[in-house]
Amino acid sequence: MAVPVAGGGGDLLLYGRGHRTLDRWGGGDVTDEYLVSAYGFPRGGGHSLVDLLGASLSRPTGGGGAISPETQVLAALGFWGGGSFQTRMGDAMGISQAGGGRCVANVTEALVERAPGGGGFPEDEAAVQSLKDDWGGGAGMPGVLGVVDCTHVGGGAPNAEDLSYVNRKGLGGGDCLMACDSRGALLSAGGGGPGSLPDCAVLQQAALGGGFESRLQKDGWLLGDSSFFLRTWLMTPLHIPETPAEYRYNMAHSATHNIIERTFRTLRSRFRCLDGSKGTLQYSPGGGGHIILACCVLHNISLGGGGDVWASPATGHMEQPDEEYEQMESMDSEACRIRQELLLTHFS
C-alpha cells in the first residue's frame, strides 16, 4: 500500500507564479507511475528518502520560514530527474531561485555524506567471496570483484585559464570514476575530476586505485577496459587477440564489463541533469561532482529498495561521445603472468 511521504497530508508543493502544481505526494489522483516519471521515486520511496535525510535537512527557525525536508527532497528530485535548472524548479514550486538552490544543495550534501568512497570494497574473506559469488562466473569470467570505468559529465570549465576540465574532444566537464557489483550497485564513486585526465590517471589518483594497490588483492580483481593499465588486481582485454583462448577471454571480459556501461546509461536516463540534453551542469567542478555522487547514492537506494532501476527508457541525448581508447601497455610482469595463467586455466 502506498504510504504518504508527509504525515498528516502536509503540503509539499505550493501554488505560485502562475503554475498549478501537485499539492501532496499522497493525493489519490496522483499515481505512483506519474511520481516515478516526474521525480524518480514512488510514494513509498519518497517517504523512505525523507526519513533517511530528514534530520540532516531540518532547519530550526523562529519565524516558521524554513523549507520542510519534504519540500527540499521533492525539489531536488525534480531537478535531478527532470534535468531542469534550479530557476525552473523554484518557479514551479513557488519558492525563490535562492530557495530552490538551497534545496538542491542541502539534499545533495546530505546524500554525499552517504556516498560510496574508495573503501567501498570489503576486505574480509567472507565479504570478498560473497562479491565473487554474486558474479557467479557470469559470461565465464572468474574471480571478478567488480567492474570499473570512467564517464564524462559535461560542465563549464572553472575559468578561461583553467583547461584541465576540458577533455580532448574540447568538452568541458569532469571525469567520474565508478565501480559496481553484479547488480549495478555502485561500490565506489568519485565525481568531478579534471576531464582532461586519461582514465588510467584518474584511477591512479583515486582512493579506489590506492586501496587496491596497498592491499595487493590476490583473490580477485576488477575488470577495466583498454583505457586502463593491466594490474594484478585489474584485468584488461588483450589488444590484439590471436588464439581461440584469447578471443574467448576478450568476449567474456566484454560481456562482464558491460554492466558498468549499462549502469552509466541508467544513471543518465534516470537523472537527466547528467545527460546533457538540457545543458551542462552549471557548477564548479566540486559542486558538479557532488551532484553526480548524490545521483549515485539515489541509484543505490533504489536498488536496495527493490526498485527497477533498469526500466528507465534510454531516450533523448543519452550517449556521451565515445572516447578513443589507446591500448595501455603494462610493464607489470606479475600482472601479465596472472592474466596468462587465467587464459590457460579458464579459456584454453
Q: DSSP string of 3-25?
A: --SSGGG---S--BTTB-----T
Position 245 in a domain: yes
Distance CA(333)–CA(257), nearest Å, equals: 23
Q: Please compute, for residue 56, the number of CA atoms within 13 A of its CA located in the half-sphere on the CB side.
A: 18
pLDDT higher at 276 or 226:
226
Please tell me the distance from the alpha carbon of residue 250 to that of residue 163, in angstroms, as a whole number. Answer: 35
Under 8 Å between Cβ of 40 and 60: no
Q: Per the domain annotation, does 6 fall within a domain?
A: no
SS3 191: strand
What is the per-residue pLDDT for 89? 52
Categorize the per-residue pLDDT at 25 as very low, low, confident or very high, splitting at 50, 70 and 90: low
More confident residue, 169 or 32: 32
Q: Do residue 253 and residue 336 come from a single domain?
A: yes
pLDDT tens digits, one per residue of 304-328: 876 666 555 544 444 444 444 555 5
Distances (CA, A) of 151 to 18, 87, 227: 39, 27, 12
Instruction: Please check the confidence at residue 50 and state whether its pLDDT lies above 80.
Output: yes
Could you tell me if 141 and 246 lie in one domain? Answer: yes
215-250: pLDDT as tens digits:
756 678 999 999 999 999 999 999 999 999 999 999
The verdict on pTM exceeding 0.75 is yes
Is the domain of 163 the same as that of 299? yes
- In a shared domain, residues 105 and 136: no
130 with 99, same domain: the answer is: no
- Per-residue model confidence (pLDDT) at position 222: 94
pLDDT of residue 65: 63
- Decide if 240 is inside a domain: yes
Judging by DSSP bridges, how do beta strands 186-194 and 221-223 pair with one another?
unpaired
For residues 292 and 173, membership in a common domain is answered with yes
Assigned domain for 84 exists: yes
Please indicate, yes or no, if residue 342 is contained in any of the structural domains. Answer: yes
Q: What is the mean pLDDT of residues 18-26?
A: 42
pLDDT at residue number 225: 94
Lowest mean pLDDT: which of 21-30, 122-131, 178-187? 21-30
**In terms of residue numbers, what domain contains 47?**
33-56+67-113
Phi and psi dihedrals of 115, rounded to 5?
A: -75, 145
Specify whether 40 is located in the same domain as 165: no
Asked if residue 118 belongs to a domain, the reply is: no
Same domain assignment for residues 92 and 177: no
5 lies in some domain: no
Q: Are 313 and 206 in contact (CB under 8 A)?
A: no
Is 144 in the same domain as 105?
no
Overall domain count for the chain: 2
Least confident of 130-139, 304-313, 331-340: 304-313
CA 193 to chain centre: 14
Is pLDDT of 28 > 70? no
Residues 189 and 335 in one domain: yes
CA dihedral (27, 314, 92, 15) in degrees, to 10, reads: -10
Instruction: Please report which confidence band the pLDDT of residue 176 belongs to, taking 50, 70 and 90 as the band edges.
Output: confident
Q: What pLDDT, on the 0 to 100 scale, is given for residue 244?
A: 95
C-alpha cell at 285: 567542478
| Main-chain phi, psi angles of 285, to 5 degrees | -55, -40
Same domain, 130 and 107: no
pLDDT (mean) for 109-131: 79
pLDDT above 80 for 189? yes
259 and 281 together in one domain: yes
Whether 85 has a pLDDT exceeding 80, the answer reads no
Q: Is 27 a member of any domain?
A: no
- The highest-confidence range among 98-107, 190-199, 267-276, 326-335, by mean pLDDT, is 98-107
pLDDT for 12 beyond 50: no
